[in-house]
Structure 1
Amino acid sequence: MTDRDETFDAVARLITPFNKKGAALTETTSFAGDLEWDSLVVMDFVASVEDEFDILITMNMQAEIETVGQLVDAVDTLKNENPTRA
């Protein structure tokens, strides 16, 4: 299992309590379209991701992240930018 696979699994685990629709989670699962999250859910979820990986996802980054795969890539990038924290 690669680091990216591990990150995907962790992100999927974090999504589970917020996945009220029971949508299947893939790389292309959309937070707005498939999961139908509003801004409050997004804020709660982002906080859980930041806590889990000890990273900070800026508002600019959040605006660009639309799918689970994009989030996994962003998390991996942020972890690698500061490997002593992850």
Structure 2
Amino acid sequence: MTDRAQVYARIIELIEPLNPKKVALTEDTSFAGDLEMDSLTVMDLVASMEDEWDIVMPLNMLPDLETVGQVADAVTRLVTK
């Protein structure tokens, strides 16, 4: 069983290589505003998460996921289905 704390910690690890400015990563860190990720980088991150947990993140879900915490919540829901 994967709990949210484990999911959150792993997401932080997956973001690190995509965070060249070394922005501090918190629950409220936003992908567009704080990390300045473009859509291609976001899709790379999504692919990494899908591979990590063997899940599929519906594309219609992505626009609602603006922060690291929101992504952790969404992945946790998908993993524990």
Name the TM-score, length of structure 2 as normaliser: 0.94
Q: Cα RMSD (Å) of the superposition?
A: 1.1
| Structure 1 unaligned spans of 5+ | 82-86
TM-score, scaled to structure 1: 0.89
Aligned residues: 80
Letter of the structure 1 residue corresponding to residue 77 of structure 2: T
| Partner secondary structure for residue 28 of structure 2 | coil
The C-alpha deviation readout for 1:12-42, integer Å capped at 9, x for no partner, is 0000110111011100000000000001101
In 2, the alpha carbon distance for the partners of 1:24 and 1:56 equals: 27
Q: CA deviation at 1:63?
A: 1.0
Q: Which runs of 4+ in 1 moved over 4 A?
A: none
Bigger Rg, which one: 1
- Report the Cα distance in structure 2 between the residues aligned to 1:39 and 1:50, rounded to whole angstroms: 16
Percentage of pairs with the same residue:
56
Structure 2: gaps (5+ residues): none
Partner of 1:37: 37
Structure having greater relative contact order (Cα 8 Å, sep ≥ 6): 2
